Amino acid sequence: MPEHSIAVIPGDGVGLEIMPEGRRILDLIAERYQTELRCTEFDWSTEHYFRTGNMMPSDGVEQLRRFDAILLGAVGHPDVPDNVTLNGLLLPIRRTFDQYACVRPAKLYSGVTSPLAGKAGGSIDMVIVRENTEGEYAQAGGFVYRDLPSEVAVQTSVFTRHGTERIMRYAFDLARQRDRKRLTSITKSNAQGYSMVLWDDTFAAVAKDYPDIETESLLVDAATLHFVRRPEDFDVVVGSNLFGDILSDLSAAITGSLGLAPSANLDPSRKCPSMFEPVHGSAPDIYGKGIVNPLAMILSVAMMLDFLGLKEGAAAVEQAVAGVLEEGETVTPDLGGIAATADVTTAVIAKLTA
């Protein structure tokens, strides 16, 4: 029987509510496809931070190294600055394990209403590929005259030819696997005359190796306009750490809800574990109400299953989610319904076992 080891980090807020739902799907897939998915749970979170002063133990990343994959719920707490939670947990995992490709699909499922008028199910189907280890989130810089009226903050973006080229090759390879074979690069080289010029030059150079892929380069401000104006035109979109982060939230909005947005933080070389998580955060405003949408977590589970080679199970999970959404009878308030979190998962399981 095939075996896979999975590190499970529920985290904070609604992460604690959606992780059990993801585990229900994992248990079913393991049984149905005769594989062993061994889950080990870690309580690393802001509660851990309140107790110890750290989001995870000093050897936390090394504890994760032995796993095949990491499944994360959400991190964040109103009383803890976001830079503490990100730099204390998420970013060290992404960087240490070289999870340089953040992949965020955005699909308008049948039965889901887009805030954009007249968009039919299936008309929007894109994947945001975000560079995940350098760029604007490199945490290079510092403060001068801290807490004084003359305080200065310097934040330096770091773009390397190596980092830029590999994320673009990943995006081109992904575009090759899709029907439309189209790739859009997001830039701002008119204002950022060094980092984004390197980005543009690298994109043009790599594109020569992919003559079968149709390409487009858009300034990020124009991209935000066209995501709303002509979202059907986008297939695979590659952007820097910051631009990919922002545009993936916009793509989730135009396809119905952050509650439908999964993501994968991948080490494509598979030397280190990759991490899978819903795009939404810990949502403290709805935590404990039992109404958080579990589908982003369930779709993240599907992405993890696919990456682990359980492609039939992954496809079955996504098909079940699509079926529940198309019927529209069991959906959470973010999609206009009244269903509870657990009830949505139960509906997905019913589709899987039908």
Active site (catalytic) residues? 137, 188, 221, 245, 249
Helix boundaries (H) for 97-160: none
Of 55, 18, 75, 50, nearest to 282 (Cα)?
Answer: 75
Q: Are 114 and 254 in contact (CB under 8 A)?
A: yes
What one-character-per-residue DSSP string does 10-63 give? EESTTHHHHHHHHHHHHHHHHHHTT-EEEEEE---SHHHHHHHSSSS-TTHHHH
Residue 328 has, within 13 A of its CA and on its CB side, a CA count of 10
The H or E element containing residue 325 is helix 311-327
Phi and psi torsions of 247, nearest 5°: -70, -30
Which sign, positive or negative, has the C-alpha torsion 227, 230, 235, 238? Answer: negative
Residue with tokens 């139960």: 346
> Beta-carbon neighbour count of residue 65 at 10 Å?
13
Phi and psi torsions of 138, nearest 5°: -75, -15
Phi and psi torsions of 297, nearest 5°: -65, -45
